Structure 1
């Protein structure tokens, strides 16, 4: 791990430190919307000659400008845009099928599960799953699992899941009531539930597929002003008090300043590009260094149960023998 990296480190600086981890490689990034950290990460990667960058998001026309900017930086990059609505399992399957069939994407070196929603009013996905859990975790669980054959074709496959310090709001017992049918719905708690799932999913990926060469990392990108905050209207600002109180218990709190897009993508890129020999499989990162997640994220039984629940909700089982 590069000890000089810090909260202010930019995505460009991370890419400049690890050019060999980018050049000639294939990256898939969900949530590439303009003015988001997915897009800023893609732009940084484009400066180091990747073979291909796959942009996967709900409406390709909405991030066409990002694809165009990548091509303007390096016309040699193969840019692929894929329609992916993580709140629809049918859309996730269609997107994965499209990528698996794309001969120009023979393998996937790095999958960055960046997309997400935050603290939205209660609603269900088209498949009947609470929106934040369904989008932030279940959709990515299915997308990752379906793409596993192409990930495992890479020489050093890697999955990076964007979590949040807000995972501290999550409670293991809430997975018994993932749709909040027996518990009064709280948008921030539900967000924390989905972010806790991201960390548990990462740990289970590392355990199940680590022997096959896969590395998996979870990331707290920091507090970044993006469209992710669109549901936090003025009349709901008071709800942030619970989140702030909890994350202040985070050992990384002192450095949790508001970030811009350039340094908001940096921790994700550290997780994506740091040589595997310098970063323990399953690590959680914050401010470009290994962080300290909530103790319950180390509960291996909970991670196994979440995997089983996820398989149940998507209606398909996935094994490490892919």
Structure 2
């Protein structure tokens, strides 16, 4: 496997349709930018459509013939997720890539419009519902992939408490809630891949960006923001490098379902994208199945696999 993989290694994407959530900034934007430059028809699925249109303009300024559209998507609202999925289904009889990238990190205690804990609702449940509603547009498409962006934080104070997913019985922890949501991203990927295996050409893959300099860290504790800012050149990498694990998971012909990609450097903070290992808990199959069932119950979305 190429251990110095870069955006130059992304194969041509002409004729492919890619939906990227949270694509107006950061890693999502950089992912969409490269896919568009390689010829994919890219949908920027974003909450703020004004920012989405400005992002689309930046992409077409770099690649004048790029095929880029903007779709409103608010992952904190199941009504919005359903409306966006319906619109995407109307416009695209086939979808090659669904990149579940959008997310929030270390937010103050709060809930989505549907009453879900904000980080779990946005990072996991919104993407779970979107994937379920779009998956039948992918199941007959050779080479189609669902790529879900997790985080190193899936190892940090992370557990799946099925009796208290919404943090209603515990003292709220921003770090714990974020870790739970990122662990859920991985468990969702692995369970989805098991359901897809030998039944469809679609595969499910996960990725993480390491420590990337994006807006996502804005809700972190002051000391964390200070350390990252002070030592940024040493421990983190720019958003375009942080997007490489996602791009590799989405486009490298050698990728297999159920794999996980991240930077190869020290503690996976930065570096070229390679296949990496996730925590032992993320591979708990019984917990994966129980989380899947809970997610179906909470969202009302079932999958065609």
TM above 0.5, yes or no, is yes
Alignment of 1:270-289 (within 5 A): 270-275=248-253, 278-287=254-263, 288-289=273-274
Choose from 213, 221, 233 the match for 1:225: 213
Q: Does 1:94 align with 2:72?
A: no
Partner secondary structure for residue 316 of structure 1: coil
Whether the 8 Å contact between 2:157 and 2:175 is mirrored in structure 1 is no
Q: CA deviation at 1:147?
A: 0.4
The residue number in structure 1 matching 2:45 is: 56
How far apart, in 1, do the equivalents of 2:296 and 2:201 lie? 22
Give per-residue Cα distances to partners, 1:71-104, cap 9 Å, x unaligned: 23444433221100001000000000000011xx
Question: After alignment, is 70-79 or 150-159 more displaced?
Answer: 70-79
Alignment of 1:159-178 (within 5 A): 159-169=146-156, 171-178=158-165
The residue number in structure 2 matching 1:31 is: 22
How far apart, in 2, do the equivalents of 1:319 and 1:152 lie? 9
Partner secondary structure for residue 162 of structure 2: helix
Whether the 8 Å contact between 2:10 and 2:247 is mirrored in structure 1 is no
Whether the 8 Å contact between 1:107 and 1:154 is mirrored in structure 2 is yes
Whether the 8 Å contact between 1:113 and 1:159 is mirrored in structure 2 is yes
How far apart, in 1, do the equivalents of 2:226 and 2:169 lie? 23
Q: Does 1:125 align with 2:106?
A: no
Partner secondary structure for residue 168 of structure 2: coil
Whether the 8 Å contact between 2:213 and 2:238 is mirrored in structure 1 is yes
CA RMSD across the alignment: 1.9
How far apart, in 1, do the equivalents of 2:99 and 2:10 lie? 17
The residue number in structure 1 matching 2:33 is: 43
Alignment of 1:142-291 (within 5 A): 142-169=129-156, 171-211=158-198, 212-232=200-220, 234=222, 237=223, 257-275=235-253, 278-287=254-263, 288-291=273-276
Q: CA deviation at 1:238?
A: 6.2
The residue number in structure 2 matching 1:2 is: 2
How far apart, in 2, do the equivalents of 1:238 and 1:53 lie? 34
Partner secondary structure for residue 20 of structure 2: strand
Q: CA deviation at 1:267?
A: 0.8
The residue number in structure 2 matching 1:299 is: 284
Count of residues paired in the alignment: 289
How far apart, in 2, do the equivalents of 1:58 and 1:81 lie? 10
Larger relative contact order, structure 1 or 2 (CA cutoff 8 Å, min sep 6): 1
How far apart, in 1, do the equivalents of 2:14 and 2:224 lie? 45
Partner secondary structure for residue 174 of structure 1: coil
How far apart, in 1, do the equivalents of 2:156 and 2:86 lie? 34
Q: Does 1:18 align with 2:16?
A: no
Q: Does 1:141 align with 2:131?
A: no
How far apart, in 2, do the equivalents of 1:172 and 1:129 lie? 17
How far apart, in 1, do the equivalents of 2:24 and 2:61 lie? 17
The residue number in structure 2 matching 1:316 is: 301
Whether the 8 Å contact between 1:188 and 1:240 is mirrored in structure 2 is no
**What's the TM-score once normalised by structure 1's chain length?**
0.85
Whether the 8 Å contact between 2:132 and 2:301 is mirrored in structure 1 is no
Q: 1:45 to 1:71 in 2, by over 3 A?
A: same
